Structure 1
Amino acid sequence: MLDTKALCKTVCRIVVAATGLPADHVIVGDPGGPAPAGSYCAVRLQNPEQFGQAHATQRDVPALDDPQYEDIIVRVATQFTLGFSVNFYRDGAVANAAALCEANKREPVKSLLRSAKLGWSRVSGINNLTGLYQGGMEERAQLTLYLYGESIAEDRVQRIYRVGFEVQTEQSGAIAQGEVNGLSG
């Protein structure tokens, strides 16, 4: 399952590393609170999209009910492209947005991506949204940062090791009984 809050916080740290904005001026978008004073940035996950085929693997583990048997853990890793709307406000908005372009080449950003197990895809074009706001000009810029990530789900599958059976014929009514035991080979 995607932890959208943790993903947004990681992107906030990437923005801080790339732009030099103070950490308390890079916020998760739509918080319902007041905007920070001065230049700031708001980050919001907008469109996670699944791509490619999920990677499915399995491994044997001791069964929970009897350790002489084994269960299977099936792990499915679904790959996503994660689009984050990154909005810059006030002085330096366009320059801050431009600082994200090719930021994946910078060591602090590489480190943040590695620790969050994310991959860099691309940055959209910068939208210069500078315009009148409350009677004065306010610099604004927006871009979309695309990252690669994955969501992992694991399920325990119990194996059937012993099955009893009974077979009866229609003509003679003869009955055969038995058991199939997976431990006997």
Structure 2
Amino acid sequence: MSAFDQIALTKSVCKIVMAATGLAANKIIIGDINSPAPAGSYCAVRLDSPAQFGQAINSQRDVVATDDPQFKDIIATVATQFTLGFSLNFYRSGALMYAAAICEANKREPVKALLRTAKLGWSRVSPINNLTGLYQAAMEERAQLTLYLYGESIAEDRIQRIYRVGFSAQTEQSGAIAQGEVNGLSG
């Protein structure tokens, strides 16, 4: 991911949930967007706990300078690694079954393909929380788990090299002045 895009990441996880559970796309919603719940069984996906881990990967490469093609600029890249925790909340009939389908889903080919496309890595799944309880005078099945994925946020900066520097120096005793230029093209 070139930038930390919460909506794009959450949509990728919605596709993973769809592939793992068999729920229809319109039954998997992004949590916390204040929209009505779908009829029947559904899942709400929410990015809960992004956390940086490890050390950022730094790299540099030369590119043609923007101001003069005979010179080179540097593109400095910093790739920050993240663990992304997505809360998956399943509601109504089959909630526990759908939550269980997420466990080890990274072994399934459709999920592997989705992870590769989104440039995400599978870390782990938390234990399933059975939240079944009384809701509007009836028992409603509910389950929650957290899916942890690995991701990366990449930032690039252009650094312009200094190719020519003029200087002037004066001594304290004699007042002699030296002037000159350091030119990167002269070697």
TM-score tier (shorter): over 0.9
C-alpha displacement at 1:62, in angstroms? Answer: 0.7
Q: Report the counterpart of residue 121 of structure 2 in structure 1.
A: 119
- Equivalent residue, structure 2, for 1:33: 35
Question: What's the CA shift for 1:33?
Answer: 1.1
> Is 1:145 matched up with 2:169?
no
In structure 2, give the amino acid aligned to 1:170: E
**Aligned counterparts of 2:166 and 2:33: Cα–Cα separation in 1:** 59
Measure, in 1, the Cα distance between the counterparts of 2:164 and 2:80. 34
| TM-fit CA distance, 1:30 | 1.1
Corresponding residue for residue 88 of structure 1: 90
State the alpha-carbon separation in 2 of the partners of residues 33 and 119 from structure 1.
30
Letter aligned with residue 91 of structure 2: Y
- Aligned partner of 2:44 among 19, 42, 45: 42
- Superposition RMSD on alpha carbons, in Å? 0.5
Equivalence for 2:69: 67
Which structure 1 segments of 5+ residues have no match? none
Q: Counterparts of 1:81 and 1:155 in 2: how far apart (Å)?
A: 24
* Structure 2 residues without counterparts, runs of 5 or longer: none
Give the Å deviation of 1:136: 0.6
**Which 4+ runs in 1 deviate beyond 3 A?**
none
Shift of 1:31: 1.7
What TM-score, normalized to structure 2? 0.98
Query: Of 136, 160, 181, which aligns to 1:179?
Result: 181
Task: With the length of structure 1 as denominator, give the TM-score of the two structures.
Answer: 0.99
Q: Quick one: distance in 2 between partners of 1:159 and 1:47?
A: 39
Secondary structure in structure 2 of the residue aligned to 1:95: helix
Is 1:23 equivalent to 2:25 in the alignment?
Answer: yes
The alignment status of 1:79 with 2:95, answered yes or no, reads: no
